[in-house]
Amino acid sequence: MVDIHSHVIPGIDDGATTLTDSVSMLQRMKAMGYQKVITTPHVMHDYYKNSREDILQGLELIRGAAATEKLDLEIEAAAEYYCDEYFLKLIREDQLLTFGNRYVLFEFSFYTRPQIAEQVIFEMQAKGYRPVLAHFERYPYFFKERKEWIDKFKEKGVLLQVNLLSLAGRYGSRIQKQAEWMVDERLIDFVGTDSHHAEHLDLISSHLDTAYFRKLRDLPLKNKGLVDVL
N-terminal to C-terminal alpha carbon distance within the chain: 14
Instruction: For residues 55 and 9, give the distance between their C-alpha atoms in angstroms, rounded to a whole number.
Output: 8
Q: What is the mean pLDDT of residues 200-211?
A: 97
Pair 162, 182: CB distance under 8 Å: yes
Residue 148: CB atoms within 10 A of its CB come to: 10
At 228 the pLDDT is 64
- Starting at the edge strand found earlier in the chain, the sheet holding 103-107 runs 42-43, 80-82, 103-107, 130-133, 159-163, 190-192
DSSP per residue over 60-88, as a string? HHHHHHHHHTT---EEEE--EEESSHHHH
Non-local (6+) Cβ contacts of 2 within 8 A are 34, 35, 36, 37, 38, 223, 224, 226, 227
Proportion of the chain above pLDDT 90, given as a percent: 94
Return the C-alpha torsion angle 145, 195, 131, 12, nearest 10: 130
213, amino acid identity: F
Q: What pLDDT, on a 0 to 100 scale, did the predictor assign at position 230?
A: 39
CA neighbours within 13 Å on the CB side: how many for 190? 28
Number of domains in the chain: 1
Mean pLDDT of 120-124: 97
The string of DSSP letters for 113-135 reads --TTHHHHHHHHHHTT-EEEETT
pLDDT in tens, 174-188: 999 999 999 999 999
pLDDT tens digit sequence for 129-141: 999 999 999 999 9
Domain with 131 in it: what CATH number? 3.20.20.140
Residue 96, domain extent: 2-226
Q: What does the pLDDT read at residue 229?
A: 46
The whole model's pTM is what? 0.96
